[in-house]
Amino acid sequence: MQPLPIAVLQTKLFWENPKQNLEHMEGLLRHLPPKTYLTILPEMFSTGFSMDPISYAETMDGESVHWMKRVAADKKTILVGSLMIKEGNKYFNRLLWVLPNGEIGQYDKRHLFAYAGEDEKYSPGQKRLIASVNGWRINLQICYDLRFPVWARQRSTYDEDGNFQPEYDVLVYVANWPARRAEAWKTLLRARAIENQCYVIGVNRIGLDGKEIDHSGDSCIIGPTGEILHSCESREELFSTILDPTLLLETRERFPFLRDADGFMILSDELPE
């Protein structure tokens, strides 16, 4: 593991207006520092958290995916964020992990927010995505997934020499998390960091959406003992930093709590339609 330069973009979103959102974010990303390995955008960054996928969902060959590929290539960064995606007759809230060479990893949101009717419009994901960069393993999740700790829980393994190996090093949540539940957002992000002994990155939006729901941002980077390393609060901000592998490894070595964790197995990664 080498030091990992990352950036998070906390921004307002223009309701159901992909063109304006992409133009706005591209302007903000002009200030992205060079040699940023990973750049993270909010959930549904091209539309806001809309329940109208029939009108706004794109295919994997759509304009927003092409935009992500172009920006990732131009900035030489891995670009991450979620979009409405249509496949056949189904819609997904899909997080994309877009490499500068155009390759794409994908994660479909597992836990759909029934309180807002997301489960009526979108299909649930069935598998986690743990991606790799610069020796780091990154577990990628979306918003409401944050409330379900089993889905994020480290599945610890042992290598061929019998050495204990946590499953991942960084847990990422992209979100449109409302201001009225901001304390839950901040508390649960810290809890996920502490219980999994990993860095946690939460990237949220700011401002009112088309339903007059306010979002306070509170995007943050949290260390492996739950310490808040940076919080964006409620301002628009492109924040960059470098994750330190030494802090992570020393924490796990000094406090080897994961070795005492209960073994468990998710019997099926498939959810009923």
Strands (E), 11-123: 38-40, 78-87, 90-98, 104-108
pLDDT of residue 210: 95
Identified catalytic residue from 118, 143, 186, 198: 143
In the predicted model, is pLDDT for residue 163 greater than 80?
Answer: no
Instruction: Take residue 31 and report the two structure tokens written for it.
Output: 């200030």
Give the pLDDT confidence of 142-155 residue by residue, as tens digits.
999 999 999 999 98
69 among known catalytic residues: no
Identified catalytic residue from 75, 109, 118, 232: 109
Alpha helices in 78-202 (DSSP H): 118-121, 149-152, 182-196
Which of 57-66, 91-100, 177-186, 227-236 has the weakest average pLDDT?
227-236
Mean local confidence (pLDDT), 29-49: 97
pLDDT tier, 177 (very low <50, low <70, confident <90, very high otherwise): very high
pLDDT tier, 272 (very low <50, low <70, confident <90, very high otherwise): very low
pLDDT tier, 268 (very low <50, low <70, confident <90, very high otherwise): low
Sequence-distant contacts of 93-99: CB under 8 A, at least 24 apart: 93/43, 93/44, 93/118, 93/122, 93/142, 94/125, 95/43, 95/129, 95/140, 95/141, 95/142, 95/174, 96/65, 96/68, 97/129, 97/131, 97/138, 97/140, 98/65, 98/68, 98/69, 98/72, 99/72
How many angstroms separate the Cα of 40 from the Cα of each of 96, 116, 163, 236, 265?
10, 24, 32, 14, 30
pLDDT of residue 161: 75
Tell me how far the alpha carbon of residue 208 is from its chain's centroid: 21
Averaged pLDDT of the chain = 94
pLDDT of residue 158: 73
143 among known catalytic residues: yes
Cα(103)–Cα(112) distance, rounded to whole angstroms? 26
pLDDT of residue 146: 98
HSE toward the beta carbon, residue 118, CA cutoff 13 A: 24
Mean local confidence (pLDDT), 11-37: 97
pLDDT of residue 271: 47
CATH of 4-260, one of 3.40.980.10, 3.30.9.10, 3.60.110.10, 3.20.20.70: 3.60.110.10
Identified catalytic residue from 16, 43, 58, 118: 43
Enumerate helices (H) and strands (E) in the chain, giving the number of each. 7, 16
In the predicted model, is pLDDT for residue 273 greater than 50?
Answer: no
Residues forming a β-bridge with 173: 141, 202
10 Å Cβ neighbour count for 144?
Answer: 22
CA atoms 139, 185, 5, 249: torsion sign: negative
pLDDT of residue 269: 52
pLDDT of residue 233: 82
In the predicted model, is pLDDT for residue 194 greater than 70?
Answer: yes
Cα(182)–Cα(77) distance, rounded to whole angstroms? 29
